[in-house]
C-alpha cells in the first residue's frame, strides 16, 4: 500500500538517534535547546518551544492565552485536536465556513463575529493551513487586530510553507506545528510552538515544566504546570530531519505538479494544488482532489476500489461541528465545509514517492473513476 503520506528516515537520522541514546542525557540535555534554536532560525521567529506532540502544544497555547470561558472562531475542516483542546481548556469553538481550498474563509470572519450574540466573549481566531497551504494570513491578522483578538495558527500541516516570502510561523501571534510521523518532518511524535512574544514564550515554558521557577538550588511554584517536554531522542531526530526539509518539500512539490498536469481537463474532479497563487508555497502535506457532485454518492465505493488497488487514499476531514461531541453547540449548517467533506480525497504525495509511482497512481485513479 502506498500511503497518502509517510516519513522518510535515512542512515543519518538513525545514527543521530543512536548517538543521543548513548549520551549522558535522555531528557533535558543539550539537543532539545539546539533543536528549538534551529527551528527558530529556520522559521525566522524569536522563540520556539518544542512539545511531545502538536496536541499538547495546542493545549499549552490555549491555556497560556487564558481562553477559558471564551469563544474562539475556528475552522470545521481540521483534525479534531484543534477544537478538542479548546474544549479541554473550557473554551467554546465558533465554527466559520471554508473556501474551495479547505481553508477558513477570511471573508466570513466579520459576519461570523457579528452574528454571535456574545461577541464580547470572543477572544481568538484559530486557523489551520489545510494540507500545508497558508491561510490568507494578512486578512486574518487585520481582522484580529480590529477586534483585539489573538491570531493562533494551527500550522500542523505546514512546517516549511511560506506566504508572501515569509515562512509560516511568523504570520500569526503564535503558530503550532506537528512533527508527527507523516507531517513534513518528524520526531516520531512531536510538536512546536513559534512566537515572537517573549511574555507568551515564558508562560509556555513554565506551563510545560510543572510551573517550576529555579533560582540556584531554590525552587518556587506560583502557577500550575505540566510535563509537556520533548526528549533528547526526539530532538536528535528533529535536528537531523530539519536538514532535509527543503529536499522533502521539493519532492512533494514535484509530485503535486505532476498530478496537476496529468489531471488537467479530467471530467471527474478538480485539484486544490492547481489554483495555488504564486505568493503561497504549500508543503503539500495533502494532495487534495475534489470530486464533482455527480460522483459524491459513489465516494465510499471509489475509496474502497482505490484501497484495493493499493492506493492509500484518505479523507480529510469530517467537519468537526458534525461530530457527536460538538452537536450541542448549535452550529448552523456550514454548506461549504459539508460539501468539501463529500468531495475531498487525499492522494498519495510524499518524499519517498517516485514520478513513476505518481504516474501509476494517477492512471489507476482515472481508470477507476471511469467505471462510475
Ligand atoms: C496532526 C494534527 C494535529 C495533531 O498533531 P499531533 O502531533 O499528532 O498531536 C493537530 N492539528 C492538525 C491540523 C493536525 O493535522
CATH number of the CATH domain containing 65:
3.40.640.10
In a domain, residue 207? The reply is yes
Structure confidence at residue 295 (pLDDT): 98
- Evaluate whether residue 3 is within a structural domain: no
> Quick one: DSSP state of residue 209?
B
Please report, for the domain that includes residue 264, its CATH number.
Answer: 3.90.1150.10
Residue 193 pairs with which residues in a beta bridge? 49, 176
Cα of first residue to Cα of last residue in the chain, in angstroms, is 23
The vertex-365 CA angle with 158 and 130, nearest 5°, equals 15
What integer pLDDT is reported at residue 134 of this predicted model? 98
**3-class DSSP state for residue 110?**
helix
In this structure, are 36 and 168 located in the same domain? yes
Residue 87, H or E segment: helix 81-88
251 and 238 inside one domain: no
**Has residue 312 been placed in a domain?**
yes
Q: Which domain covers residue 340, as residue numbers?
A: 245-370
Query: What's the number of domains the chain is made of?
Result: 2
Q: Are residues 263 and 329 in the same domain?
A: yes
* Same domain, yes or no: 193 and 277: no
154 lines ligand 1 (CB under 6 A): yes
**Which pLDDT belongs to residue 311?**
98
The alpha carbon of 292 and the centre of ligand 1 are apart by a number of angstroms equal to 28
Q: Does 78 contact ligand 1 (Cβ within 6 A)?
A: yes
Q: End of a domain among 242, 266, 293?
A: 242
| Contact 79 CB / ligand 1 (< 6 Å) | yes
pTM attached to this predicted model: 0.98
Per-residue pLDDT at 264: 98
Probe ligand 1: pick from 62, 79, 85, max atoms within 8 Å of CB? 79
For residues 150 and 221, state if they share a domain. yes
Same structural domain for residues 353 and 232? Answer: no
The answer to whether residues 62 and 132 belong to one domain is yes
Residue-level pLDDT, tens digit, the chain, 372 residues: 999 999 999 999 999 999 999 999 999 999 999 999 999 999 999 999 999 999 999 999 999 999 999 999 999 999 999 999 999 999 999 999 999 999 999 999 999 999 999 999 999 999 999 999 999 999 999 999 999 999 999 999 999 999 999 999 999 999 999 999 999 999 999 999 999 999 999 999 999 999 999 999 999 999 999 999 999 999 999 999 999 999 999 999 999 999 999 999 999 999 999 999 999 999 999 999 999 999 999 999 999 999 999 999 999 999 999 999 999 999 999 999 999 999 999 999 999 999 999 999 999 999 999 999
Do residues 147 and 49 both lie within one domain? yes
Q: Output phi, psi for 275, to 5 deg.
A: -100, 25
For the CA atoms of 298, 316, 351, 357, the dihedral, rounded to the nearest 10 degrees, stands at: 0
Among all chains, which residue has been given the C-alpha cell 490555549?
Answer: 62
C-alpha–C-alpha distance, residues 267 and 291, integer Å: 9
Would 1 be classed as within a structural domain?
no
State whether 144 and 166 are in the same domain.
yes
Within a domain: 87: yes
Q: Which of 123, 167, 183, 203 is catalytic?
A: 183
For ligand 1, the distance from its centroid to the CA atom of residue 220, given in whole angstroms, is: 33
What confidence score (pLDDT) does residue 351 get? Answer: 96
13 within some domain = yes
Residue 2 within any structural domain of the chain: no
Is there a contact between 187 and 245 (Cβ–Cβ < 8 Å)? no
**Would residue 216 count as lying in a domain?**
yes
Q: In the listed set 226, 242, 258, which residue is the last one of a domain according to the structure?
A: 242
In a shared domain, residues 207 and 177:
yes
Same domain as 227, residue 316:
no
281/218 same-domain check = no
| Cβ–Cβ < 8 Å for 143, 109 | yes
Which pLDDT belongs to residue 280?
98
DSSP 34-51: HHHHHHHHHHT-SEEEEE
Identify the domain boundary among 186, 207, 242.
Answer: 242
Q: Which of 305, 310, 307 is nearest to 367 (CA)?
A: 305
Amino acid at each position: 500500500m502506498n500511503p497518502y503520506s509517510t516519513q522518510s528516515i535515512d542512515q543519518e537520522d538513525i545514527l543521530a538517534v543512536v548517538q543521543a541514546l548513548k549520551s549522558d542525557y535522555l531528557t533535558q540535555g543539550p539537543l532539545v535547546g539546539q533543536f528549538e534554536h534551529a527551528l527558530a532560525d529556520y522559521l525566522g521567529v524569536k522563540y520556539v518551544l518544542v512539545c511531545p506532540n502538536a496536541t499538547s502544544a495546542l493545549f499549552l497555547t490555549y491555556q497560556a492565552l487564558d481562553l477559558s470561558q471564551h469563544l474562539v472562531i475556528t475552522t470545521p475542516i481540521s483534525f479534531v485536536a484543534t477544537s478538542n483542546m479548546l474544549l479541554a481548556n473550557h473554551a467554546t469553538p465558533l465554527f466559520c465556513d471554508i473556501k474551495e481550498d479547505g481553508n477558513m474563509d477570511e471573508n466570513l470572519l466579520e459576519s461570523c463575529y457579528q452574528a454571535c450574540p456574545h461577541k464580547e466573549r470572543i477572544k481568538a481566531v484559530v486557523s489551520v493551513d489545510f494540507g500545508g497551504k497558508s491561510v490568507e494570513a494578512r486578512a486574518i491578522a487585520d481582522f484580529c487586530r480590529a477586534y483585539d483578538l489573538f491570531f493562533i495558527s494551527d500550522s500542523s500541516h505546514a512546517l516549511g510553507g511560506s506566504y508572501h516570502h515569509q515562512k509560516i510561523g511568523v504570520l500569526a501571534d503564535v503558530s503550532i506545528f506537528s512533527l508527527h510521523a507523516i507531517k513534513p518532518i518528524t520526531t516520531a511524535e512531536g510538536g512546536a510552538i513559534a512566537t515572537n512574544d517573549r511574555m507568551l514564550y515564558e508562560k509556555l515554558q513554565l506551563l510545560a515544566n510543572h510551573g517550576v521557577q529555579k533560582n540556584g538550588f531554590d525552587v518556587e511554584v506560583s502557577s500550575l504546570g505540566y510535563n509537556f517536554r520533548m526528549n533528547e531522542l526526539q530532538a536528535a531526530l528533529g535536528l537531523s530531519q530539519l536538514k532535509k526539509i527543503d529536499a522533502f518539500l521539493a519532492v512533494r512539490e514535484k509530485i503535486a505538479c505532476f498530478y496537476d498536469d496529468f489531471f488537467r481537463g479530467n471530467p471527474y474532479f478538480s485539484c486544490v494544488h492547481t489554483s495555488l497563487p504564486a505568493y503561497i508555497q504549500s508543503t503539500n502535506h495533502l494532495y487534495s482532489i475534489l470530486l464533482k457532485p455527480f460522483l459524491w454518492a459513489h465516494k465510499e465505493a471509489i475509496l474502497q476500489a482505490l484501497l484495493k488497488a493499493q492506493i492509500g487514499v484518505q479523507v480529510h476531514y469530517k467537519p468537526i461541528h458534525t461530530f457527536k461531541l460538538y452537536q450541542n453547540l448549535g452550529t448552523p449548517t456550514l454548506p461549504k465545509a459539508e460539501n468539501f467533506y463529500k468531495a475531498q480525497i487525499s492522494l498519495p504525495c510524499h518524499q519517498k514517492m517516485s514520478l513513476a509511482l505518481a504516474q501509476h497512481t494517477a492512471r489507476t485513479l482515472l481508470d477507476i473513476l471511469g467505471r462510475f
